[in-house]
Structure 1
Amino acid sequence: MRVLHISPLYAQPVDGLPTQAATTGFYWVSCARSELETQLPAIQTMLTRLGGSALVDLHVSDLLNPAIPSNYDYTSVYDVLVFRRLANAHLPPLNGSHASPAPAVAAPPALVAGTGSAASSVPPPSHSLAHSGQREAPVLQRVETQPVGFALYDQILLSVHPDGCFVLENFWQRLISGPAKTDGRQVSSKMPVEPADLMLRMVNGMVDGYLDLRRTLTRQIDHWQMALLKPNKRFSNWASVLDVRLALHQLDEICEDQRAAVQDWTEALEGWPPEHTPARQHERELLRVRSRDVLEHIERVTHHIHRMEQSAETAVQMHFSAQSNRANDIMRTLTTVTAIFLPLNLIAGIFGMNFEFIPFVHKKDGFIWALAAMVIITVVLVAYFWRRRYLESEEKE
C-alpha cells in the first residue's frame, strides 16, 4: 500500500494511512486488491475519519472483483469508478519477443455480479481474448484486461490495482519526480488539482494503452489480409481468423462498457453543486474537459475496432470471391478444352465403328485426311474461343 500527499506544487510520500485531512491538496491511497481485502478495516476507518463515510459493502465487492466490467456508481459522499485496462503494458512485435508481457492475474472463471455492473460479460483477466495455437495469431493471444477501481472523495482518492500494475508505477514515479520546468511558469497545472483530476488522468492513460494496441492489431489484420488474398495458396487456418473476429468483438464490448461508465461519470459531474470562486470554476471546467477527452479517446478506440472488424470481414469476403473467380476460370478452361475435343472424339468414334464399308477407311490417305480435319477443327475452335476470351490468360497489373 502506498500513500501520497499531493499539493499544488509537489507530491510527497506518506508513511502509513493518514489520520487527519490535508491542509492543502489531497491524499492518494493506492493498494493492490489483496491489500484492500486484508487491510479493509483500517482503510474503512481512514475513509470514515477523513472522507465522512466508509465504503458500502456492494462497492467493496466491486473493488475486490477481478472480473467486473467497467462501471460507475455513486453515493452522496463518494463516487466509485471501475475501469478495465490492458494487462500487458507493451505487447511484443509480431516477429520477435524482445519485450516480455506483464504478468497476468488469476481470476475466477465466472463474472461476479456487483453494483453498477454492465450487462455484457467480460472474460476473466487470466484468459486471453483469443485462444489460438496457430503461428499467425501471436498478438491476440496476449490481449488481456484487468479492472482498476477508484473511490473518489473530496480530499481522498483510493485506487485499487491488480498486482504489478504498470499504471500505478507510471503515475507514482511521475508525481514523485514532480514537474520538470520551474522557470517561472505555473507548475500547478502539472500536478493534479483534486482527486477527480488524478483519477481522470489515470483513466486517460489506460485508454491510451488501447490506442497504442491498435497499431499492433492493425499489423495483425494486415497479415491476415495478405494471407487471405493469395489466390495461389491454399488457406486453411480459419480457426485463427475466427479467434481474431471474436477478440475484436470482445474488445468492442469492453470499450462499450468503458464508454457507458465514463458517460455516467460525466453526467454525474454535471450534477455537482456549482462553484462560486473563479479558481474552483476553472478546476471544474478542467474536469469537464478531461472527461470529454477520455470519452473521445474511447470513441476513437471503438471506431478503430469497428474499422478492423470491417477490414477482416472484407478480407474474408475478398478471399472467397477470389477463390470463386479462380474456380470459374478453371471450369471455363476445362469446358473450353472439352468443347475442342468433342468434335475430335466424334470423328474418331465414327471411324472406329465396326462397319465394313466406311468412307476413307480403305484409302491410303484416309488417315492423313482424318488427322488433317482434326487439326483444322482444333485450330478453328481454339481461334474462336481465344477471340471470345475463353482461353485468355489473367493479366497482372
Structure 2
Amino acid sequence: MGLIGYVHIDDRWREMTDADRLDGETLFWLDFTHHEDDWPSVFQRLGGGAVHERHVKDSLNLAHPPYYDATSDYEMLIFRPLAGLQSNDLDLDTSASTLLLFAHGLVTIRPPDNGLFEDVGRRLHSQTPRQPETIVGVAHALLHRIVEEQMRVRGPLAMQLELWQQRLFGSEHGVKDWVPLLDLRGRLRRFSTILAEQLSSLTLWRSETELHISEHVGVRMNDVMEHIKRTAHDIDALQHDIEGMIQIYFSITGQRTNSIVQLLTIISVVFLPLNLIAGIFGMNFEQMPLLDHALGFWATAIGMAALGLATLLLLRLKRWI
C-alpha cells in the first residue's frame, strides 16, 4: 500500500510525494493502517523521530481502550471510532485508532476499513474553506468526524427500540426470544463505557498538552466534548428505556396471569358448593330427601342455580370481581 500523507505548503494542504521529507518546519500528516506494522521505520526514513516501543504496540492493538499519554517529543491519543462508515449498523463495533501529535506533524494509525480518515484527507487537499492551519486543527477535524459518526447511531438505535416496543406490547403472544434485546443492551453498555473513556482521555489531553490550541480550535474542541457527552447521555437513556420496557412487559405479563388466575378462582368458588351438592345426591343410598319426589330434580337444579347466583352476587358485593 502506498504512503498516504499530506503536507501544508504555501498555506494549503496537498498530498505528499516520494520527494517530500519531514524537515521539522513543514506541517505534515502521515496516515497508516494497522496492517502496516513497519510504520515506525517508514516514519523515520521520511525524517521523523523515534516512537516509544510501548506506544508502537499500543498503536497496533485494535482492542486498545481510549487512552492518553505523552513523552517529551509527542503526545498520543487513542480513540475508538465505529468500524466502517455504516452509521445504520447497530453492531456498535469499534476499533482503536491512534493519533500521535508532534510539534509540526501528526501520525495516525487506524483500521484499514475505516474511511473516516480518508474522508478528512480528501477534504484537506480539496481546498474547501476554513482549512486547518495547525496540527491541533487537523486532529480536531479527525476527532470531530469520529464523534459525528458516533452521534449518528442514536437515530437508528431509537428506531430499533420502537420496533421492540411494538413487539413487546403489540402482540398477544409476547416475545419468546430475548437474546437480541439483551444483546443490544450489552452493546449499548459497552459503547457507553467507550464514550466515557474517550471523554476522559480528551479532557486529560486538553489539560496537559503542550501544543498551542488557538481560541477558535479550543471552542471547536469544546463542541466535540459536548457531542461526546450528549451521545453518552442519549445512549444511557436508551439503556434505561430497555430496562423500563423489560420491567413494564413483565408487569403486564404478571397482571395478565393474575387475571387468568382470578377467573379460574371465581369459577372454582362458584362450582365448589354445586359440586358438593351433586356429590351428596350422587351417594348410593336408598332413602334420600327429594329422591322419589316428582319435582326433586327441578327443585335441586333451581336451588343449585340460586346458590351459584348468590355466590356471584357475594363476590360482586365484596368487589372481588
Write the letter of the residue equivalent to 1:228.
L
Q: CA deviation at 1:387?
A: 5.4
| Aligned equivalent of 1:57, options 33, 49, 53 | 53
Asked whether the equivalents of residues 8 and 193 of structure 1 are also in contact (C-alpha less than 8 Å), the reply is no
Between the aligned partners of 1:371 and 1:360, the Cα distance in structure 2 is 12
In 1, Cα distance between the equivalents of 2:274 and 2:19?
Answer: 98
Q: For 2:78 and 2:39, how far apart are their aligned partners in 1?
A: 20
Distance 1:390 1:226 in 2: 32
Task: Say whether the 8 Å CA contact 2:23–2:47 is kept in structure 1.
Answer: no
Picking from 6, 9, 22, the partner of 2:8 is: 6
- Residues of 2 paired with 1:71 and 1:18: CA distance? 31
Give the structure 2 partner of residue 170 of structure 1: 119
Query: Partner of 1:296 in structure 2?
Result: 226
> Residue deviations 1:49-74, cap 9 Å, x none?
xxxx4211111111122221111111
Helix, strand or coil for the counterpart of 1:4? Answer: strand
In the alignment, the residues of structure 2 paired with residue 233 and residue 42 of structure 1 have an alpha-carbon distance, to the nearest angstrom, of 62
Task: Say if 2:84 and 2:113, in contact at 8 Å, map to a contact too.
Answer: no
- Structure 1 gaps, min length 5: 93-138, 180-186, 276-282, 392-397
Residue 310 of structure 1 pairs with residue 240 of structure 2? yes
Relative distance call for 1:225 and 1:29 in structure 2 (3 A) is: same
Quote the Cα distance in structure 2 between the aligned partners of 1:320 and 1:64: 45
Please point out which of 174, 178, 182 is paired with 1:234.
Answer: 174
Contact 1:4–1:13 (8 Å) recurs in 2 = yes
Q: Distance in 2 between matches of 1:303 and 1:65?
A: 28
C-alpha displacement at 1:227, in angstroms?
2.1
- Map of 2:291 onto structure 1: 361
Task: Tell me, yes or no, if structure 1 residue 210 matches structure 2 residue 150.
Answer: yes
Structure 1, 358-367 or 14-23: larger mean CA deviation: 14-23
Distance 2:47 2:109 in 1: 14
Alignment: residue pair count: 319
In structure 2, distance between residues paired with 1:17 and 1:369: 115
Are the equivalent residues in 2 in contact too, given 1:229–1:315 (CA < 8 A)? Answer: no
Cα pair distance change 1:39/1:324, threshold 3 Å:
closer
Q: Structure 2: which 5+ runs fail to align?
A: none
Alignment of 1:58-207 (within 5 A): 58-92=54-88, 140=90, 142-179=91-128, 187=129, 190-207=130-147
- Closer/same/farther in 2, CA of residues 47 and 159 from structure 1, 3 Å limit: farther
Q: How far, CA to CA, are the matches of 1:71 and 1:374 in structure 2?
A: 80
Change (3 A) 1:354 1:258: same
Which residue number corresponds to residue 263 of structure 2? 333
**1:327–1:267: structure 2 CA closer, same or farther, 3 Å change rule?**
same
Q: CA deviation at 1:39?
A: 4.4
User: Cα offset for 1:33?
Assistant: 2.2
- Assess if the C-alpha contact under 8 Å between 1:22 and 1:155 holds in 2: yes
Please state if 1:28 is matched with 2:29. Answer: yes
1:344 maps onto 2:274 in alignment? yes
So what's the TM-score if we normalise by structure 2? 0.91
* Aligned residue identity for 1:80: M
Instruction: Give aligned-pair identity as a percent.
Output: 27
Q: Would the alpha carbon gap of residues 33 and 47 (structure 1) be closer, same or farther in structure 2, given more than 3 Å must change?
A: farther
> What amino acid is the match of 1:34?
H
SS at match of 2:73: coil
- Looking at structure 2, the residues matched to 363 and 222 of structure 1 have their Cα atoms a distance apart, in angstroms, of 69
CA contact (8 A) 2:32 2:39 kept: no
Kept in 2: contact 1:8–1:192 (CA 8 A)? no
Q: How big is the shift at 1:302?
A: 1.2
- Cα distance in structure 1, aligned partners of 2:203 and 2:310: 74
Q: Does 1:222 align with 2:162?
A: yes
- Name the counterpart of 1:249: 189
> What is the CA–CA distance in structure 1 between the aligned matches of 2:319 and 2:10, rounded to whole Å?
79
Q: CA deviation at 1:145?
A: 0.9
Point out the more displaced range, 12-21 or 237-246: 12-21
* Cα distance between partner residues in 2 of 1:2 and 1:61: 21
